[in-house]
Structure 1
Amino acid sequence: MYRPTGPANLPHDVWTLIAGRTAAQSVRDLCSLRMSCTAARNAGDEDFVYRCANIPIWDQRWWSVSPMHHPGRNFLARCRQSGHVEVLFRYAVSDLFLGGCRFAGMETMHVVAAQGHSAAQYIVAMMLMLRDDAESKNKGLQTFCWLEAAGALTNCKLVFRGVVQGTWRHLRRVPRLNEENQVCSLHACPSRGNMGAIYRHQRYGRGWDVNDGDGGAGHISCVHCRADYELILFVHLFD
């Protein structure tokens, strides 16, 4: 008689896809699946599965794992090793703003941004524009213009603020905004140097929200000045 193939005899690639879909729904369900049989346990240890793991960026329970809680800490480390985009993003933020290695953090942020992570692209743009060399500012400005045209700035700021104002609040290393960080260098520009006043009016005059970043200086025709306004907003997202 014809006997259908049992689950344990499914190809490894099929088990990997099943484990990946399970991980994308629930890490708890993935753990249960891996305990069901040897084939599931082996498939669940693939990098692809760890990259699919559903780890909500807003859920601070994931990011405040006690050093004594080895399973949770090891799971995040394994996700990072596999290239999990959200985990890499969180580690990059930690290195950049929480006392880690800034160079490593920026390198990781570039990697995440290259994978289409808009919040990472936003941070890369802001950090580049905060530098005092023209080449970095121009690269950051190009990314900023792309995010602005795509209407992605508000969501990027919401994601980033949700990260830095979580459990890491008391550990922040806030970037500084000095006069040499200004993007607009055209002395004939009528709006140059006025972004601070516009920001203060937006925040204290009529009630401030991160959404104002898309409209607060939206009427300013100079893209360099709008970038200066967004730099002010970026620094104050740490408040």
Structure 2
Amino acid sequence: MERPTSTANLPHDVWTLIAAKTAAQSVRDLCSLRMSCTAARNAGDEDFVYQCASIPILDQWWWSVSPMHQQGRNFLARCRQSGHLEILFRDAVSDLFLGGCRFTGMETMHAVAAHGHSAAQYTVSMMLMLGDDVEAKIKGLETFRGLEAAGSLTICKLVFRDVIQGSWTHLRHVPVLNGENLVCVSHACPSRGNMGAIYHHQRYGRGWHVNDGDGGAAHIPCVHCRADYELILFVHLFDS
């Protein structure tokens, strides 16, 4: 009769999957697992495991600022080194809108977006369209249209809002939106210039906010006006 294989003798790849699944559930459980045996400790140090780690937003902020959480900061640093997209996305949001280095934040946001992180792609598209550069606006609009076509706008806004709302209100640098940086410039467009009124009607008249499936500007034929509507909503995601 064959004896069952000891867990310590499991292949490294299997241990890595176990560690990754554990990390996705709880960082505390991952730490406990890594202390159980040498095989678990070695597997738990793989980049893939750190990429899977689930870290609540408030924990990340607290670990980053509290002098009592050096171990937490070390763990976050290892997550960044591994390429943890969600952690890098939150860092980029912090740099862009919470008093960090805006150039670094935009650079990181572009890098995370290039790896397929939809909320980062959404943020990049909004920031490009808010700028004055015509070519950048076109690129931002292209990204926006891709997210719109994929039906990803709602989840992107929810993810972004959760990050920005999880920060300290007094630190937020709210993007500026005015008539000079709107996307639709066609004088022949019948909906041009009306997106602010539509937004306020949807939000304050009907109690609607982020959910694309309940109103919004989806019924507007002009994609440039729909982009303007989303820019207005993006700025208001910073509201407390």
TM-score (norm 1): 0.91
Q: Supply the distance in 1 between the matched residues of 2:82 and 2:67 (Cα, whole angstroms).
A: 21
| Unaligned 5+ runs, structure 1 | none
- In the alignment, is residue 209 of structure 1 matched against residue 209 of structure 2? yes
Q: 1:113, CA displacement in angstroms? A: 1.5
Q: Supply the distance in 1 between the matched residues of 2:16 and 2:229 (Cα, whole angstroms).
A: 47
Q: 1:215, CA displacement in angstroms? A: 2.8
Answer whether contact 1:213 1:230 (CA < 8 A) is retained.
no
Instruction: Indicate how the Cα distance of structure 1 residues 135 and 2 shifts in structure 2: closer, same or farther if over 3 A, else same.
Output: same
Q: Which moved more, 1:200-209 or 1:76-85?
A: 200-209
Question: RMSD in angstroms over aligned alpha carbons?
Answer: 2.0
| Unaligned 5+ runs, structure 2 | none
Answer whether contact 1:96 1:106 (CA < 8 A) is retained.
yes
Aligned partner of 1:48 in structure 2 is: 48
Q: Supply the distance in 2 between the matched residues of 1:151 and 1:4 (Cα, whole angstroms).
A: 48
- In the alignment, is residue 93 of structure 1 matched against residue 93 of structure 2? yes
How many corresponding residue pairs? 237
Aligned partner of 1:61 in structure 2 is: 59
Aligned partner of 1:193 in structure 2 is: 193
Q: Supply the distance in 2 between the matched residues of 1:197 and 1:2 (Cα, whole angstroms).
A: 74
Q: Which residues of 2 match residues 1-239 of structure 1 at below 5 A? A: 5-57=5-57, 60-65=58-63, 66-211=66-211, 215-239=215-239
Answer whether contact 2:119 2:156 (CA < 8 A) is retained.
yes
Amino acid of the structure 2 residue aligned with 1:131: G
Amino acid of the structure 2 residue aligned with 1:182: L
Q: Supply the distance in 2 between the matched residues of 1:84 and 1:34 (Cα, whole angstroms).
A: 19
Q: Supply the distance in 2 between the matched residues of 1:5 and 1:195 (Cα, whole angstroms).
A: 65
Q: Supply the distance in 2 between the matched residues of 1:67 and 1:178 (Cα, whole angstroms).
A: 41
Answer whether contact 1:154 1:214 (CA < 8 A) is retained.
no
Q: Supply the distance in 2 between the matched residues of 1:6 and 1:198 (Cα, whole angstroms).
A: 64
Q: 1:4, CA displacement in angstroms? A: 5.7
Answer whether contact 1:67 1:73 (CA < 8 A) is retained.
no
Q: Which moved more, 1:219-228 or 1:204-213?
A: 204-213
Percent of residue pairs bearing the same amino acid type: 81
Q: 1:10, CA displacement in angstroms? A: 3.6
Q: Supply the distance in 1 between the matched residues of 2:2 and 2:151 (Cα, whole angstroms).
A: 57
Q: Supply the distance in 2 between the matched residues of 1:211 and 1:6 (Cα, whole angstroms).
A: 50
Q: Supply the distance in 2 between the matched residues of 1:230 and 1:63 (Cα, whole angstroms).
A: 27
